[in-house]
Structure 1
Amino acid sequence: MAKYLVIVESPAKAKTIKKFLGSNYEVIASNGHVRDLPKSQMGIDVDNDFEPKYITIRGKGDILAQLRKEVKKADKVYLATDPDREGEAISYHLSKALKLDDKKYKRITFNEITKNAVKNSIKQARDIDMALVDAQQARRVLDRLVGYKISPLLWAKIKRGLSAGRVQSVALKLICDREKEINEFIPKEYWTLSAMLVPEKAKRSIEFKYMGNGSDKEEISSRAELDHIIETIGKQSFQIASIKDSERHKKAPLPFTTSTLQQEASSKLNFATSKTMRIAQQLYEGVEIKGRGSIGLISYLRTDSTRISDEAAAAAKDYIIKNFGEDYTAGIPRADKPGKKIQDAHEAIRPTDITLSPVVIKDQLSREQFRLYQLIYNRFLASQMAEAVYSIKTVKAEAAGYRFQTSVSKIAFAGFTTVYNVDNEKSEHIAGIKDLNEGDLLKLEDFDEKQHFTQPPARYTEALLVRTLEELGIGRPSTYAPTISTIQNRRYITKENKKLYVTELGEAVNQIMEQAFPVIIDVNFTANLESLLDKIGEGAIEWKVVVRNFYPDLDAAVKKAESELQSIKIEDEVTDEVCDECGRNMVVKYGPHGKFLACPGFPECKFTKPFFEKTGVPCPKCGGDIVIKKTRKGRRYYGCINAPECDFMSWAKPSKEKCPVCGSYMVEKGNKLLCSAENCGYSRDNTEKEKQA
């Protein structure tokens, strides 16, 4: 009887697949990659048309030995690694490492690990798609060239052990650019005004918000403008100008892609992108369900498509009719239009069995698995349901030519919001609004006025960074999580309260990259390179053509940077601080957390201490020196050198000047000086900077 061998990446996946296949099949895991470029050298033969040198990964010898034994016993080998470029490359390297005969092995893929999907994949076994392998190979080679060529320059300029990556450097630049925008942002004052109006036959007032005296909504930009509006209205009565009843239809959300899953898991579950992908991988490969064994609960997790199969749509429709009613079905659910940057190789992320609701299998899942599965399940179910309908009543009142408005919305038909509410939108209720009629007079009870200041652009969160990278066409579904993890692990950025901050080390690396390698970190260049990798995967371009065109510019930029670095001798900055142990003047060094002071007598003298860069500004509290400090995670701030006795700190750089309005200390923002008091708002041009410029 024939004997078949199926090779997958992980033991969990092997366990799930094994139960779908008969006793004639042996399923073994390779535990991921078995061959890769060497770590100790670049591994790319630049002089031999960029031929990569692959070696067996350390520690994989025993696994390969076991696989070779099983290959000898088998009549046919099926390579069943993940259905993407990386999975295709793993299958290719397995075929080479195991020296498989072309006639003896085939490649199989499945978008979900279910009995039907696995058995159908064997019927549709194919050869390895070398175009996909080449696309992955090109990405690996390009990243290796960038890393091994640029990293030594970072060592010379900043410190040893640093590294640069093609996509990571662009992600770091985005975060640095946003930090610069925030630091240079000048807030602008504006006011909001509400009129508390009482209908003739009512006891309670209703809040009407100021809209302006024209057709479009207008903003109140100053206190003087606000006072003029209030003075003009005086004690005049307000009159209902119009009442409008309308409906608003809210479309169901699309099912998850890798990017939108990472964003929503971050927002709703507070999961880091790496955590989301790790748990999703577990749900895809298989979870033990009582009475059914190991089951893959979701379809493949690395996808940029919102498409779903006809079978999945039909199953969801039947489930919705049975549990919610015919009115809740969507008819023909909408699908995202495929864009230029979408590969559309796989379906959207969805449950493999719609009858396995999260509540039914909750006890068999870990808490984190349950929360993520529930998010995926509910999002998919909602995507196949009817839109929500809201009835809206809008009432406009006028006085002295100024318009004020109030509105209330009520859910007329819940539709998809029964299972998934995107914005946590609820029905609103305002007492007395339903009794109003056009022409009614309203008595002014009081005005509610509030001062506001515009806010700087939001700092990146992991979710926002993923969305931005996707919109710009940088990276692909499989790269988002490792990109963010890499720049965090290198301490180029840090995360506090979900927000990403650039560290001093990250700023230094980005500065070098901007000066010496502007093309490498150019957003458009990187996005164009991604599209070329897609074309390699489609078989439209030969992978070495892309590398041949890329390398000369990189090589020229590296040589130019090397010559500039050689002409500028990089010396350690000598300070006035004296070594406590040997008396030498200490020098500034870079460590994993940024700058520190070290004795130049190393290794004989190993004394170090924290480095505090003085700003020349006295502390507003105690008069001590204000110095640049860093939080435990590497975020920069300004604090008093006398800490902990003095607790002064500021995220913005303090100035010597005092606010002429309230007397608080001023802070620098770009070319402006702003009062640090939250409710003051005084600002002016920073003349000191202008003179220096």
Structure 2
Amino acid sequence: MADKSVVVVESPAKAKTINKYLGDGFEVLASFGHVRDLPAKDGSVDPDQDFAMRWEVDVRGKKQLDAIAKAVKGAKHLYLATDPDREGEAISWHVKDELARRNVIDGMDVSRVVFHEITKKAVTEAVSHPRDLDQALIDAYLARRALDYLVGFTLSPVLWRKLPGARSAGRVQSVALRLICEREAEIEAFRPQEYWSVDALMATAAGDAFKARLTHLDGKKLDRFDLGDEAAAKRAVSMAEGQPYSVTKVERKTQKRNPAPPFTTSTLQQEASRKLGMGASRTMSVAQRLYEGIELGGETVGLITYMRTDSTSLSGEAIAGSRRAIEKIFGDNYLPDSPRVYRTKAKNAQEAHEAIRPTDLFRKPEDVARYLDKDQARLYELVWKRTMASQMESAVIDRVAVDIDSANGAATFRANGSVIKFDGFLKLYFEDVDDRQQGDGSDDDDRRLPNMTEGETPSLKDVIPEQHFTQPPPRYSEASLVKKMEELGIGRPSTYASILKVLQDRNYVLLESRRFVPEDRGRLVTAFLSSFFDRYFEYGFTADLEEQLDDVSDGRRNWQQVLRDFWDNFYKIAEHTKELTGVEVRDTIDRELGPHFFPADENGSTEAARVCPACDGGRLSLNFGRHGAFIACSNYPNCRYTRQLGEDGSEDGEDANYPKVLGPYPETGEDVSLRKGPYGLYVQVGEQLPKEKGKKAPPKPKRASLLKGMSAADVDLALALRLLALPREIGTHPESGAMITAGVGRFGPFLKHGSSYVSIPADDDVLSIGMNRAVEVIAQAGEKGKARATRSLGEHPDDGKAITQGAGRFGPYVKHGKLYASIPRDVEPESVSLEEAVRLLAEKAAKQAAKGGPVKKASAKKAGAKKSGAKKSGAKKSGAKKAKAKKAGAKKAGAKKAAAKKPAAGTD
């Protein structure tokens, strides 16, 4: 079509929906995210050439660019409609730049369009109001990408050389890790302090019971630690008992409580974590699906607006729609006189964006729930309620405080309570408070008190002392860590999910009971960076750098100057650190982490815990070996005592605590033991029998590795037997009839359904996941979670063998004997005919022959080869191939081993 227009979006799901909205005059293609990136090797960013960048198109990117280039030939207009954020702007720039290099858009009208929701109105309006690419946003992207690359590829080699076992470091990732490690250090240094409270159980003349807390004793106001032990508490009780009491003061205060603003990326992640138990990555994945569109009654509709935003504002249309919905659903009382307008507190917020909201507020959660999976339905309900509540009337709360004095003035008790006079937005939505400290009586305000007046004389029923201890600061949850990072101005909310995932993937932190616990490897990296690169991983410095990058996106700074200001000093420090000796690094980190590895005594000294248990006069300290850090004695080589990090050293020798016998194996009576191997802890049944000369090696004992997050302290016989029972059968799928099993593979816990494998979500347990949840996880996985079925297309005209069509891990295919041919993505698998299948298979066979691939058996038969001769020839070929493959495999293994020394550097 000569007058067609081409639209480029990021995802194929979005492409299908938008194509329906725009009609026949448009062809919508997906870039599948970025089409090119910086190669993961030195020199991709050259500071000596004013930070010139060398971009590389990967295989997938080339495929998408080829499709886009083919589509724009003869087109009149190219619309770049990638996501409406800085990253989306960069993707559009990459696509345009690569097409320009190919000379396929010369003289063509190329425009940028953005829409914040995928609805027909939003899409068509965006296309009718195109704009140019925003160069300031592109410059900000270039600066961030170059910074992340330079930090990662400068720091990571330093870490590999000076800190064996470390994986990588990143500009923002390492600061987030520092937060987690410093919180853990606070917890370890915390010493609980005892204190007591005294409560009185009282009743009014009418018999209504209530509780009050002692606030004054002998005319003095009690501070938290004034009753510091049991003796002080008992003295207070004796002074309070046996006295008549009267109400001396009643305070009533009416307060208005306003709703929270609509969701930003950060607050959505926080609330989804607190209320739904969904991690940041999972939240963003589900939100992406709701944004891109769900099929409702035959039509694909985007249910929420774009989910990467730091703006709390709503469009005039959205505010008007929410007010109409509130009035209709809840009535006039819940509608404020004027709309609520929210202003974003975050610096450099993209106010052109909206907050995250439903695209249609009259589309209630219960109306769409049947079209959504469980997570989608819960997240949509959360977004809908928060948006609606943000425009509802304030809640009105009556708060009451009553002071009750003893007749002799020795004791004063206070009773607090509150009553919701008008629920307002609380009828729909209540924002949780995370990490509330316990034991301080802060929840007394939520009690409801009986009506009392001054001069009234309630009776004292009992006086109860209660012991408390101060609590350490809580470990960060995903919600509280995201909130802290946002408060400090570290990174950007759209990157938080990927940052938290990287920290876990690199085994720097462990998510335990939904709280982050730093691993020793993470603490070592943090100690190294804070000791030798402290300025560059300070919270203030990182936040200031973010502000500079935001200034670039606003056009107020030059992006290359920002890089120059950062790079010159950073590079000098990195070069200086390379010159440090191993002893300097070791001693510095040993001092930094000494209290962690060696418990301090009451005087704060770690020396008692450093005494070597295996020799006289030896002192334990941190050391580094080929495979990472460990504890060793200073008398080496005379004393060879060592222990791994995390071991308590209660017995002599590095592995003296292993194996640990847990109990008998029910089937054979053999010992089940916990052992330590080169890849970590595992459980085993019995012992490995020795190989007898001239006989076949005996089978290996049954073994099972501990799951991620398990520690040695968690493992007893019952848990060991459950691990050894994997993979376990859960039951047959109610629809397909295929058996569902749960197990652990090289990529983690999985469900096997028929011949398909589906990863088990991080929040589920492979040992306990049941039938209902398993079916749900498989359904959420879509096609990959279904038992793969094949259909017969007929017989091949050459040899009469069957041709089938099915779906595999690489997509739909047709199959003839051992030959597989992929079905093109633009062809519906169910529509493939026998003739088309024969053509696809012939093309595949030709490609294999051109590459020197194996000769098909059918060809050998046609050539008239004798059966015996073919067998003999095949045996020789097979042997030759086997030898050749073995040789090549050995080389490949060697290459992999060398590559393992330098994993890819961090990018954020």
CA distance in 1, matches of 2:481, 2:568: 31
- Contact kept, 8 Å, 1:110 with 1:118, in 2: the verdict is yes
**Correspondence for 1:152:** 157
CA distance in 2, matches of 1:187, 1:561: 39
**Correspondence for 1:487:** 503
- The answer to whether structure 1 residue 116 and structure 2 residue 121 are counterparts is yes
- The answer to whether structure 1 residue 209 and structure 2 residue 234 are counterparts is no
1:430: how far off? 5.3
- The answer to whether structure 1 residue 289 and structure 2 residue 272 are counterparts is no
**Correspondence for 1:15:** 16
CA distance in 2, matches of 1:256, 1:317: 17
1:267-666 pair list within 5 angstroms: 267-291=274-298, 293-330=299-336, 331-336=338-343, 338-340=345-347, 342-399=349-406, 400-401=408-409, 402-423=411-432, 433-434=450-451, 436-565=452-581, 589=625, 611=644
**% identical aligned pairs:** 38
What letter is aligned with 2:504?
Answer: Q
**Correspondence for 1:86:** 87
What letter is aligned with 1:207?
Answer: K
1:161: how far off? 6.8
Q: Deviations over 1:457-515 (max 9, x none)?
A: 11111111110110001111211111111111111111001100100110111111112
- The answer to whether structure 1 residue 265 and structure 2 residue 266 are counterparts is no
- Contact kept, 8 Å, 1:462 with 1:499, in 2: the verdict is yes
What letter is aligned with 1:378?
Answer: K
CA distance in 2, matches of 1:269, 1:589: 43
**Correspondence for 1:193:** 198
Going from structure 1 to structure 2, the CA distance change for 1:272 and 1:595 (only over 3 Å counts) comes to: farther
Going from structure 1 to structure 2, the CA distance change for 1:613 and 1:17 (only over 3 Å counts) comes to: closer
CA distance in 2, matches of 1:221, 1:38: 64
Structure 1, gaps ≥5 residues long: 578-586, 598-608, 648-693
What letter is aligned with 1:327?
Answer: N
Going from structure 1 to structure 2, the CA distance change for 1:50 and 1:189 (only over 3 Å counts) comes to: same
Going from structure 1 to structure 2, the CA distance change for 1:446 and 1:322 (only over 3 Å counts) comes to: same
Higher relative contact order, structure no. (Cα contacts within 8 Å, ≥ 6 residues apart): 1
CA distance in 2, matches of 1:565, 1:130: 45
Going from structure 1 to structure 2, the CA distance change for 1:588 and 1:426 (only over 3 Å counts) comes to: closer
What letter is aligned with 2:459?
Answer: K
**Correspondence for 1:62:** 63
1:163: how far off? 1.0
Q: Deviations over 1:38-71 (max 9, x none)?
A: 0233401222111000010233222221111101
- Contact kept, 8 Å, 2:237 with 2:465, in 1: the verdict is no
1:109: how far off? 0.6
CA distance in 1, matches of 2:657, 2:505: 35
What letter is aligned with 2:179?
Answer: L
User: Counterpart of 1:166 in 2: which secondary structure?
Assistant: coil
What letter is aligned with 1:460?
Answer: Y
1:455: how far off? 0.5
User: Counterpart of 2:312 in 1: which secondary structure?
Assistant: coil
1:548: how far off? 1.0
**Correspondence for 1:133:** 138
CA distance in 2, matches of 1:421, 1:31: 38
**Correspondence for 1:651:** none
Going from structure 1 to structure 2, the CA distance change for 1:337 and 1:282 (only over 3 Å counts) comes to: closer
- Contact kept, 8 Å, 1:410 with 1:426, in 2: the verdict is no
What letter is aligned with 1:368?
Answer: D
Going from structure 1 to structure 2, the CA distance change for 1:88 and 1:596 (only over 3 Å counts) comes to: farther
CA distance in 2, matches of 1:188, 1:637: 29
1:540: how far off? 1.1
CA distance in 2, matches of 1:16, 1:430: 53
- The answer to whether structure 1 residue 53 and structure 2 residue 54 are counterparts is yes
1:37-48 pair list within 5 angstroms: 37-48=38-49
- The answer to whether structure 1 residue 26 and structure 2 residue 59 are counterparts is no
What letter is aligned with 2:315?
Answer: S
User: Counterpart of 1:73 in 2: which secondary structure?
Assistant: coil
Q: Deviations over 1:666-688 (max 9, x none)?
A: xxxxxxxxxxxxxxxxxxxxxxx
1:445: how far off? 1.6
CA distance in 2, matches of 1:339, 1:481: 18
**Correspondence for 1:684:** none
1:97: how far off? 1.4
Going from structure 1 to structure 2, the CA distance change for 1:127 and 1:109 (only over 3 Å counts) comes to: same
CA distance in 2, matches of 1:76, 1:343: 28
- Contact kept, 8 Å, 1:257 with 1:349, in 2: the verdict is yes
User: Counterpart of 1:470 in 2: which secondary structure?
Assistant: helix
Structure 2, gaps ≥5 residues long: 434-442, 591-611, 614-622, 633-641, 661-675, 682-705, 720-908
Q: TM-score, normalised by structure 2?
A: 0.63
CA distance in 2, matches of 1:426, 1:373: 33
User: Counterpart of 1:449 in 2: which secondary structure?
Assistant: strand
CA distance in 1, matches of 2:570, 2:47: 12
User: Counterpart of 2:579 in 1: which secondary structure?
Assistant: helix
After TM superposition, the structure 1 stretch with the greater mean CA deviation from structure 2, 394-403 or 66-75, is 394-403
Going from structure 1 to structure 2, the CA distance change for 1:53 and 1:429 (only over 3 Å counts) comes to: closer
Going from structure 1 to structure 2, the CA distance change for 1:353 and 1:87 (only over 3 Å counts) comes to: same
Going from structure 1 to structure 2, the CA distance change for 1:28 and 1:158 (only over 3 Å counts) comes to: same
- Contact kept, 8 Å, 1:495 with 1:633, in 2: the verdict is no
CA distance in 2, matches of 1:108, 1:423: 38
1:167-246 pair list within 5 angstroms: 167-202=172-207, 205-213=209-217, 218-219=223-224, 220-222=226-228, 223-246=230-253
- Contact kept, 8 Å, 1:208 with 1:404, in 2: the verdict is yes
- Contact kept, 8 Å, 1:170 with 1:523, in 2: the verdict is yes
Going from structure 1 to structure 2, the CA distance change for 1:456 and 1:569 (only over 3 Å counts) comes to: closer
**Correspondence for 2:771:** none
Q: TM-score, normalised by structure 1?
A: 0.82
User: Counterpart of 1:509 in 2: which secondary structure?
Assistant: helix
Going from structure 1 to structure 2, the CA distance change for 1:351 and 1:613 (only over 3 Å counts) comes to: closer
CA distance in 1, matches of 2:119, 2:266: 24
- Contact kept, 8 Å, 1:49 with 1:544, in 2: the verdict is yes
CA distance in 2, matches of 1:340, 1:543: 18
What letter is aligned with 2:413?
Answer: F
Q: Deviations over 1:76-111 (max 9, x none)?
A: 000000011100000000001122336421110111
- Aligned Cα root-mean-square deviation (Å): 3.3
Going from structure 1 to structure 2, the CA distance change for 1:444 and 1:333 (only over 3 Å counts) comes to: same
1:22: how far off? 2.0
- Aligned pair count reads 612
User: Counterpart of 1:83 in 2: which secondary structure?
Assistant: coil
**Correspondence for 2:835:** none
